[in-house]
Structure 1
């Protein structure tokens, strides 16, 4: 995540390069950008966050919205772009908005506003002052 290292506010990336790899035909991508505790000036990795990262590294499996094992062909197909979001999709779809319900709420609020304007105009009339809502019927 961002602000994890002192003096560095940008998100960080850790690369693990091994000379004698067992898995030479793929690359493991882990997106642990949400694995932190927010603090005032600097975010902090808690032990459980580190354990999650290590478990994903050791198990070397696809974990939805967290880790992906990409084949070298997949990396080649992406023009060797190693940008993590290309491989680990963390997109969260927002809830759909019911426009009809929102339109109904706006109509109700408009009606309430008109009723309030009428009440204010009546109070102003009783007090004998000019009302900004005098034209409201």
Structure 2
């Protein structure tokens, strides 16, 4: 899993060039928090929650309760999950924030792609890092 976290960070940073003043929020399930927290390099904020959609729900909470539209002009969401569609649509409409979605092309919801101002494609195959049983 540590190798997968490092590979994911490299793949994401290849298409999303973080700046020093960016706020990076990572979310994961509670069983991954130690590995993600320690293996992801650079400044970041880590949120976690149990359950199938735990990580998504944590990010949704940030989008909906932390005045993101008032604090930032741009948002990059690294996910393809359609659960974020309504939240980013509201942000774009109410605050004018520019939303970019970065996702693997085969894993991005059509609704999410349509809601975003732009879409970036991440080249990453998580199954390539699965450990043998």
TM over 0.5: no
Between structures 1 and 2, the one with greater helix share: 2
Between structures 1 and 2, the one with greater strand share: 2
Larger RCO (CA under 8 A, 6+ residues apart): 2
Query: Under a length normalisation based on structure 1, what TM-score does the superposition of the two structures give?
Result: 0.21
Computing the radius of gyration from Cα coordinates, the structure with the larger value is 1
